Chains A and B, each alone.
Chain A
Amino acid sequence: MDKKTKKSPIDRLKDAGLDDHFITQTATTFDHWRQTLAAIDDDTLGQDDLNSVYQRHIPS
């Protein structure tokens, strides 16, 4: 038997009757933002999370 494929969020919203213009307009917006994120080289990312950074700054 074929494994049931999980629907993508976009397909779920389309099936729920959400107006297509919401999908296309928001995809355009996110693609614009995505370029900003993609321009940052993944190799420059550190290992800390924000909690670790803030933990180090708790006054003694």
Chain B
Amino acid sequence: MTDRRYQSITQLHDQANTPEERVAMTHDVLDDLAATGKALDALVYLDREFALEQAEKPPQHPDHPLAGVPLAHKELYNRQGWPDEGGSKTHQGQIATETAHTISRLDDSGAIDCGRLVSVEFALGVTGHNDYAGTPKNPWGQDYICGGSSSGSAAMVAAGVIPASLGSDTGGSIRLPAAACGLVGIKPSHGLVSRHGIFPLSKSLDTSGPLTRSVEDAAIMLEAIAGYDPRDPLSLEAGSINNGQSAIGDWRQEFEDGLSGLRIARAEDYFLTGVDAPVADAVEAVFQDAAKLGGAIRSLTIPDMDLANTLNVMLIASEAAERHLDTVEAHHHDMNDQTVMRVITGIHAEDREVQKLRQLRADMASRFIHDVFSDCDLLITPVWPFLLPTISASDIGAKPDAAPLMQRIGHNTRPFNFLGLPVVVVPIGLDQNGLPLSIQLVGKPFSEALLLRAARAFERHYAFWDQRPNLT
């Protein structure tokens, strides 16, 4: 079974040419999801019959790199007839009545959908704790958190059980788990990927994207799921494929071009002074490496990042309260204390304040795009502001210091949700505890192809792909 572990999408696709090969591979992955998913507290649901049926059918597009490749996704992604619990006991037994747009896109690509993986309750948490669905253990150190909220996705991809999994990101929920588990994660540009059929947290801020072990796999997943969807009111035409060419660019064309000629922004204030020394030191070393690889480093002062973090927290809370107030009212005894606290913080918002928050997103994004990306191609920052904590040390529920801790963990990620910008996370090595360290690459709207090119350059340089956690 484990010889298929840690293989890329392309490697798995190459072994899935016949129905027999696809069924055998899917059997292996289902067994591994059941065993490793249970051991790491990451599994919510498996549908063996459905997955094996998908594996038997000839794919519509047999040459698509995802054809025949078994995957599993964050439990917020609906498939008609499968559980739709949002990681919460309050929705226990609820069944999805339709299939998410992104899941349908993966079906069309020929990917095999095996099941669903743990999310933090309502995706409203950054540490990964969930009393109901489970708190996934980090494959790199099982006393440590995976981060949240796409915690189960990160655990199963980092353990090499599946090559990719969809997560969602409203304040860092793809990037924090990707960084904690040594993965590539993409939070796409605002409007690029449909959120239709994904259990909602914040209608303005929710985004959908992949967690993978390699940059190439992340690009394959993004290409498969990007595209206009009229059922998502914020969806834009940018991802639509016209004549085989997406407006986000052909990532394959410049994929191996490296950092040469790229102008890279280094913002010391906030992103490097606002994090713990071991994290800042590791990221400073990345800037030195980037310069050696041909990048031109430009130090900038970027104002209002602290403001963007706070405004993002406010908008998440306000829209979460709007969406989930009825559930809290009826079922708060069945909810994690931290979820209750974070949802009801938003009930104190007034309508005019929520409107102002949405307006400020547009104003601040316009300014940021002009001020930063007129002279730079991308910005590099840390992801986590401190070394990863253990599961027990970060289990603070709804204690008074929970809100400041949540805000602190999202220090580097939330500003870019507020601004809607595309971000790619890539691992750079291990910290003093043997846990992954990562950076995030931030670009202007729809610059995913350029960010993937830069991420590929760092992937080649740091060779993290070759490192694997010890699961025994």
Interface residues, chain A, with chain B CB atoms under 8 Å away: 9-10, 12-13, 16-18, 22-23, 25-27, 29-31, 33-34, 36-37, 40, 42, 44-46, 48-55, 57-60
What B residues does A37 contact at CB under 8 A? 311, 314, 353, 356-357
Q: Closest B-chain residue to A18, C-beta based?
A: B332
List residues of B (281-333) whose CB comes within 8 Å of A's CBs: 307, 310-311, 313-314, 317, 321, 325, 328-330, 332
Q: Please, how many angstroms separate the alpha-carbon atoms of A40 and B303 in the complex?
A: 14
Contact among B189, B325, B347 for A54, CB-based, below 8 A: B189
Is the pair B341, A26 in contact by a Cβ cutoff of 8 Å? yes
Whose C-beta in chain A lies nearest to the C-beta of B418? A50
Contact sample, A vs B, 26 pairs, CB 8 Å cutoff: A9-B321, A12-B325, A13-B325, A18-B340, A22-B341, A25-B341, A25-B398, A29-B345, A34-B348, A37-B356, A37-B357, A40-B356, A40-B360, A42-B356, A46-B362, A48-B362, A48-B363, A50-B190, A50-B234, A50-B365, A53-B362, A53-B366, A53-B369, A53-B420, A55-B236, A59-B446
In the bound assembly, the distance between CA atoms of A54 and B307 in angstroms comes to 21
Give the distance in Å from the alpha carbon of A22 to the alpha carbon of B146 in the complex: 27
A57–B237 Cα gap in the complex (Å)?
11
Contact between chains at B314 and A16 (CB < 8 Å): no
User: Once the chains are docked, how many angstroms separate the CA of A37 from the CA of B347?
Assistant: 16
Which residues of B are found within 8 Å of A42, using beta-carbon distances? Answer: 356
Closest to A38 in B: B353
Residue of B nearest to A44 (CB): B363
Whether B236 and A59, one on each chain, are in contact in the complex, defined by CB atoms closer than 8 angstroms, is no
Given A13-B347, A45-B356, A46-B363, 8 extra CB contacts under 8 A? A22-B398, A26-B341, A30-B345, A36-B310, A48-B363, A48-B366, A53-B362, A54-B445
B446–A13 CB distance below 8 A? no
* Residues in B neighbouring A45, C-beta threshold 8 A: 356, 359-360, 363
In the bound assembly, the distance between CA atoms of A27 and B317 in angstroms comes to: 12
A60-B307 Cα distance, complex, nearest whole Å? 32
A50/B348 in contact, CB under 8 A: no
Q: How far is the CB of A19 from chain B (nearest CB, A)?
A: 9
- B238 near A: Cβ within 8 Å? yes
Kindly state the separation between the CA atoms of A51 and B358 in the bound complex, as whole angstroms. Answer: 11
Report which of A18, A48, A50 forms a contact with B420, defined as CB distance below 8 A: A50
Closest A residue, CB atoms, query B346: A30
Name B's A-contacting residues (CB within 8 A): 189-191, 204, 234, 236-238, 247-249, 307, 310-311, 313-314, 317, 321, 325, 328-330, 332, 340-341, 344-349, 353, 356-363, 365-366, 369, 398, 400, 403, 420, 444-446
Residues in A with CB closer than 8 Å to B236 are 51, 54-55, 58
Give chain B nearest CB distance to A34 CB in angstroms: 7
| Interface majority SS (helix, strand, loop, mixed), chain A | helix
Contacts of B249 in A (CB 8 A): 59
Q: Determine the chain B residues whose CB is within 8 A of the CB of A40 once the complex forms.
A: 356, 360
**Complex Cα spacing A34 to B314, Å:** 9
Q: Is the CB of A52 within 8 A of B311?
A: no
User: Are A51 and B360 CB-contacts (below 8 A) given A22-B341, A26-B348, A33-B313?
Assistant: no
Whole-angstrom CA separation of A54 from B400 in the bound complex: 38
Residues of B contacting A22 in the complex (Cβ-Cβ under 8 angstroms) = 340-341, 344, 398
Chain A residues positioned under 8 Å from B310 (CB to CB): 33, 36
B247: A residues at CB distance < 8 A: 58-60
Closest 8 CB pairs of A and B: A57-B445, A30-B348, A9-B347, A26-B345, A48-B362, A58-B238, A16-B329, A50-B362
A31 to chain B minimum Cβ distance, whole angstroms, is 7
Q: Does B365 contact A53, Cβ atoms closer than 8 Å?
A: yes
Q: Residue of A at shortest CB range from B444?
A: A57
Taking a contact as CB atoms closer than 8 A, the residue among A9, A29, A34 that contacts B325 in the complex is: A9
Measured CB to CB, the nearest residue on chain B to A58 is B238
Pair A57/B317 contact, Cβ less than 8 Å: no
Residue from the set A9, A12, A44, A48 with the largest chain B CB neighbour count within 10 Å: A9
Do A49 and B340 touch (CB < 8 A)? no
- A30 contacts B248, CB within 8 Å? no
Nearest chain B CB to A49's CB is how many angstroms away? 5
Q: Which residues of A contact B330 (CB under 8 A)?
A: 16
Contact of B369 among A16, A29, A36, A57 (CB under 8 A): A57
- CB-CB under 8 A from B237, the residues of chain A are 58
CB–CB B234/A51 < 8 A: yes
With CB as the reference atom, state the residue of chain B lying closest to A15: B329
- Chain B residues with CB under 8 A of A26: 341, 344-345, 347-348
